[in-house]
Amino acid sequence: MMLRGVILCLLIALCLLVALAAGEQWINPFDAGGQDAVILWDLRLPRLLIAFAVGGLLALAGAWFQVLLGNPLAEPYVLGVAGSASVGAVTGLMFVPESAWVMSVGAFIGAWIGITVVMIFARLGPGRMLLAGVVLAAFWAALLALLLALLPEQGLYRAFSWMMGDLSHSDIPVPFLLAAWGVAVLCGMMLSRSLDLLLLGERHAEALGVEVKQLRQRLLLLASVVTAIAVTAAGTIGFVGLVVPHLMRMLFGSLHKAVLPASAIGGGLLLMLADTAARTVIAPSELPVGVLTAIIGVPVFLFLLVRRT
Amino acid sequence: MNPLMQISQLSLQRGSKQILNDVSFAIRPGEITVILGTNGAGKSSLLLALAGLIPAGGTLLLHDTPVNSFSRVELASQIAWQGELPPTEFGLTVHQRLQLADQHGDIESAAERMDIVPLLNRVLGELSSGERQRVELAALILRDAPIWLLDEPTTHLDLKHQTRCLNMMKEQAANGRAIVTVLHDLQQAAAIARQVALLDGSGGAEIGTADEMLTIEKLSQLFDTPLIKQGKVWAPDYGEVNYESTR
């Protein structure tokens, strides 16, 4: 465990350096001056930090949703939350086309509504709940298609770039995002023992002293706020929340004392690397990072599904 | 001896159906109470109600204090419940499962008692139902609660481990633990019970000492099945298969 922790720390440092250096032009972070320094510290670093915080938040939310629903294949995006957030964002864009801020608020409200609706169906039990999530995702997609059809042409580009995940800027300030990451990790650690007990099922957890109803409410609130912040900051980026906690469980075991911080860091690294690839592969143009995470995430999801059965 | 738990006029509902009505008995330290009954008679539900895990009517006193006035943590320190096997989706290992029962307990010795030391590093999902049941029993041993509530603890177990499980329960009772357990096997019930509760499925429960309850009249009537004497106790008459007639 200790060795794996050291390896993870070295990996973070390496990823940070590579992500800083790579781009349309390769810049040595230890020897950058003039315009290179501006590119490095004013453009790339904030973007990296956004990617790190958003990736970590998404992975944490994924880990929480999985315990909340008793299903390791649950994730806000699989449950239709990306769809509801997009509907919220595009609705905002429709009414106040010139304001990025209104779009973000719309996304936040949309994400919140999506999660609340999913949780209403959570009472049906994990299996049916996932099914409800799939149907809800289809509903939000239909609603989104309707809104996009009605959206004026100049709004379409912005809507699409947001829907595919956009880390180039964030309407939420970077220090706030990093603070949210830290607070989320801390909250998760405080709940880690109760979360572990919940892995045994609600009855066992209650019998072992967990106030399950209260814990579920807290978790839901945490997962919703964290998802909403991530979606508001960077648009819809799927599958980080699914894949990362899974990988971390494989590496560090199932107990949350290890899984949560590892997911927060691992999710950050994955999104940082994905974003570096997205802005490097076809430079000077950029690939949407949400598209990349989905291209990686969908096969991994299917692999996990097959492996589980 | 003073009862640890006093149950008076307990009633339980499942949906619109009244499954238990006016059930009263006491749970005392050092005594094993066996619950016998037909399918759906409310045996598991009775255990859940005693554990404070589902709501019930009537009065349930733990140390002379109503059960619902205890917090979850306080109840967990007094009552250990073993029920359905926990889910295996999240890849917990046997060792981690035992750690969740008690972080500071002697996992090695509990594992030894239930013969699962070689399984400690295996993932729960890879184990058979019998092995998982033994893991649950080891988890129970780690709990230092004065009351144990066990729902069919010998289910899935082979003969060796059924015996080990019953012996372990007898030892625990001898050390002062109060045990309430649901069983289906009449011989096992007769081997360990001090007190027996018979649930007939109509909501009523007849409770008395093992000698009073484990009689051919009561048991054959309860299970609506003819019984024959087998050793010290009554068992169903399965008859014999006549393979000759199939040739």
**Which CATH number characterizes residue B141's domain?**
3.40.50.300
| Architecture field, domain A51-308 | Orthogonal Bundle (1.10)
A204/B53 Cβ within 8 A:
no
Chain A: residue whose CA lies nearest to B149: A207
Structure-model confidence comparison of residues A231 and B209, the more confident one: B209
Predicted confidence at residue A190, as pLDDT, reads 94
A70/B89 Cβ within 8 A:
yes
Interface contacts (A, B; CB < 8 Å)? 65
Q: CA-CA distance, B114 to B136, in Å (whole number)? A: 9
Chain A: residue whose CA lies nearest to B97: A200
Predicted confidence at residue A308, as pLDDT, reads 59
Predicted confidence at residue B6, as pLDDT, reads 95
Q: CA-CA distance, A55 to A226, in Å (whole number)? A: 11
Interface test with B, best of A1, A66, A194, A206 (most B CBs within 10 A): A206
Confidence of residue B195 (pLDDT cuts 50, 70, 90): very high
Interface test with A, best of B100, B135, B147 (most A CBs within 10 A): B100
Distance from CA of A211 to the nearest CA of B (A): 6
A201/B87 Cβ within 8 A:
yes
Q: CA-CA distance, B25 to A299, in Å (whole number)? A: 58
Name the one residue in this structure whose structure tokens are 């909340």.
Answer: A68
Structure-model confidence comparison of residues B189 and B229, the more confident one: B189
In total, chain A counts a number of residues equal to 309
Could you tell me the residue ranges of all domains in chain A?
51-308
Query: Which alpha helices (H) appear in chain A, and where do they start and end?
Result: 2-21, 34-38, 45-69, 81-95, 100-121, 126-150, 153-163, 174-190, 192-198, 202-207, 212-234, 240-252, 256-280, 289-308
Distance from CA of A54 to the nearest CA of B (A): 24
Q: Is A248 an interface residue toward B (CB < 8 Å)?
A: no
Confidence of residue B246 (pLDDT cuts 50, 70, 90): low
- Compute φ and ψ for B228, nearest 5 degrees: -125, 160
B73/A209 Cβ within 8 A:
yes
First to last CA, chain B: 62
Predicted confidence at residue A296, as pLDDT, reads 83
A208/B76 Cβ within 8 A:
yes
Residue B196 belongs to what domain range?
5-246
Helices B129-142/B94-101 angle, 10° precision: 30
Predicted confidence at residue B213, as pLDDT, reads 93
Chain A: residue whose CA lies nearest to B145: A208
pLDDT in tens, B60-110: 999 999 998 999 999 999 999 999 999 888 889 999 999 999 877 899 999
β-bridge mates for residue B6, sequence order: B26, B61
Q: Are A231 and A81 in contact (CB under 8 A)?
A: yes
Q: What is the ipTM of this complex?
A: 0.91
From the list A72, A199, A206, which residue is nearest B53 (CB)? A206
Q: Is A207 an interface residue toward B (CB < 8 Å)?
A: yes
Q: How many CB atoms lie within 10 A of CB A306?
A: 8
Residues of chain B with Cβ-Cβ distance to A201 below 8 Å are 84, 86-87
Chain B: residue whose CA lies nearest to A245: B90
Q: Phi/psi zone of residue A28: left (φ > 0), alpha (ψ -120 to 50 degrees), beta?
A: beta
- Compute φ and ψ for B227, nearest 5 degrees: -120, 155
Predicted confidence at residue B197, as pLDDT, reads 95
B51/A254 Cβ within 8 A:
no
B84/A203 Cβ within 8 A:
yes
Classify each residue of B31-70 as buried b or exposed e, where b means 16 or more C-beta atoms within 10 Å of its C-beta. bbbbbbbeeebbbbbbbbbbbbbbebebebbbeeeebeeb
Predicted confidence at residue A23, as pLDDT, reads 81
Confidence of residue B199 (pLDDT cuts 50, 70, 90): very high
From the list A67, A71, A201, which residue is nearest B86 (CB)? A201
The total number of structural domains in chain B stands at 1
B137: enclosing H helix or E strand = helix B129-142
Six token digits for residue A108:
């936040």
B83/A203 Cβ within 8 A:
yes
Q: What is the pLDDT along chain A (309 residues), one digit of tens a residue?
A: 678 778 878 888 888 888 888 887 888 878 777 888 888 888 888 889 999 999 999 999 999 988 988 888 778 777 888 788 889 988 988 888 777 778 878 888 888 888 888 878 777 766 677 788 888 888 998 999 999 898 888 778 778 877 777 787 777 888 999 999 999 999 999 999 999 999 999 999 999 999 998 998 888 888 878 888 888 888 888 888 988 998 888 888 889 999 999 999 999 999 999 999 888 887 777 788 888 888 888 888 788 777 755
pLDDT in tens, B37-51: 999 899 999 999 999
Q: Is A201 an interface residue toward B (CB < 8 Å)?
A: yes
Predicted confidence at residue B247, as pLDDT, reads 60
Average pLDDT of the residues in B202-208: 90
Q: CA-CA distance, A60 to A25, in Å (whole number)? A: 33
Q: Are B63 and B77 in contact (CB under 8 A)?
A: no
pLDDT in tens, B1-18: 788 999 999 999 888 888
